[in-house]
A and B are shown apart, each in its own frame.
Chain A
């Protein structure tokens, strides 16, 4: 692997609806939102279920395991990076980055696990690395 300088990650801006997600991420836990009415998990997290519109949605700690749905290596950037959609074992897909791996070995369908990387503001982002 070619060593690369760290990419500076802009901080997310939580709001009252999403603050628990970021508080958990700061502790190294990935939360998803699940609906008690229809039973389905979704992402990004919302107070109202995007499937049945129930307001009985709850935070749940995800396993952090997932499968790579798609990705792209952004070559034209000060520090190249890999953006991705990762399908979590719990169901929903989330946008993320692939880190701590050789970009040439990335392939769709590969198994991944969550790692947490600090942003400029101190909050942490869930990213993924080969399982």
Chain B
């Protein structure tokens, strides 16, 4: 049993707002849902499967299905942080392959910017029943310093430099200049990244993604539904997922769960990293990108610094065009969860609907990679491989 070729992404929508103080979270979810359905050429009443994660208010799918008045026969609220929406695409394909649904809607939305959330720099107390919390929270773990420890160890073990990490931000900024909705549209230099203040050593302010309101949605459909639609056909070829934690104390911060989710997706798709023409890579921080690029096999482990340097991720000049919307580093990181926008930009590339300045020529094979949670403690990784049919 495989999901290879069993489902298509028919609709994709990224909310144009990056700050939404006048809107509710449920409203943003519904606006994204509507946008993706319009994009697909489907209506709300066609939806029979619904997927959402921890950003959905209330009782997740129950609250949101009620708000949107959906009549469903399949729901899934798997939450693996920012990678949830890639997992949802895979799980939607599984549901479709088994006949449990034929039009699956996936939504994400949130307002961390309007709510003034110190996303990356404030420790989060969490639920005391969370088994790790008493052994970690008192020490002040934040999103940034956890990823910073990954960067510090990667530098120690492989000689990775801050200059090399900065190239990832530079490449993202080259792409963001063409995105009118991007939060940060100025092209930056390596020096500007290195001159920005240290948030948590060795990560600078410009090594970190934006904090934005907004959201996105996807519509995943069965092959027979796709045939009835007039949109370009974006087929799911393969998917992999893998959580990674601290291994009972055998902590290794130098790799991500992409080491496992990537090969699973490639095996199912029957393609290799060298075949990928465009890659959306989760970019909460520059180090996040570097580790996943290595773990997915785009270069050898430890060689990520060399691979990303000198503009190698810039569309048109580099070997691996990545995050051509500007990514989380420059464009959008709605609800502090960047997985949704990773899939959306991959769909744009495969449809030929990316900005002409960053569109990969004849883009027929793309990868979307997400991680969620924290690479420094425990996270989920998900990989999707998509093909234009």
Contact = CB atoms under 8 A, between A and B. Distances in A.
Interface of A: 7, 9-15, 18, 22, 40-44, 46, 49-51, 69-77, 81, 83-85, 87, 91-97, 108-109, 119, 125, 127
B149 interface: yes
A109 B202 CA distance: 17
B48 to A, nearest CB: 40
Contacts, number: 122
Nearest to B137: A10
B250 A93 contact: yes
Interface residues of B, number: 41
Interface in B96-140: 121, 123, 125, 128-129, 131-140
A76 B200 contact: yes
B24 to A, nearest CB: 30
B145 interface: yes
Interface of B: 121, 123, 125, 128-129, 131-142, 144-146, 148-150, 152-153, 156, 197-203, 246-251, 253, 377
A74 B145 contact: yes
B200 A72 contact: yes
A108 B199 CA distance: 19
Nearest to A46: B131
A93 B249 contact: yes
A51 B148 CA distance: 28
A13 B126 CA distance: 11
Contacts of B135: 12, 43-44, 94-95
Given A76-B200, A83-B140, A10 B125 contact: yes
A92 B141 contact: no
B121 A77 contact: yes
A71 B155 CA distance: 12
Contact of A43 (B144, B201, B249, B253): B249
Contact of A119 (B138, B141, B199, B203): B138
Contact of B128 (A13, A43, A70, A95): A13
17 contacts: A10-B125, A11-B138, A13-B128, A15-B128, A51-B248, A70-B149, A70-B253, A73-B201, A74-B200, A75-B197, A75-B198, A76-B197, A87-B251, A91-B249, A93-B250, A119-B138, A125-B138
Nearest to B152: A70
Contacts of B251: 69, 85, 87, 93
A86 B140 CA distance: 15
B306 to A, nearest CB: 21
A74 B137 contact: no
Among B125, B246, B248, chain A packs the most CB atoms within 10 A around the CB of B248
A64 B219 CA distance: 54
B200 A75 contact: yes
Nearest to B249: A92
A94 B145 CA distance: 15
A108 B248 contact: no
A48 to B, nearest CB: 11
A127 B149 CA distance: 17
B201 A94 contact: no
A95 B146 CA distance: 10
A75 B138 contact: no
B210 to A, nearest CB: 16
A76 B199 contact: yes
A72 B149 contact: yes
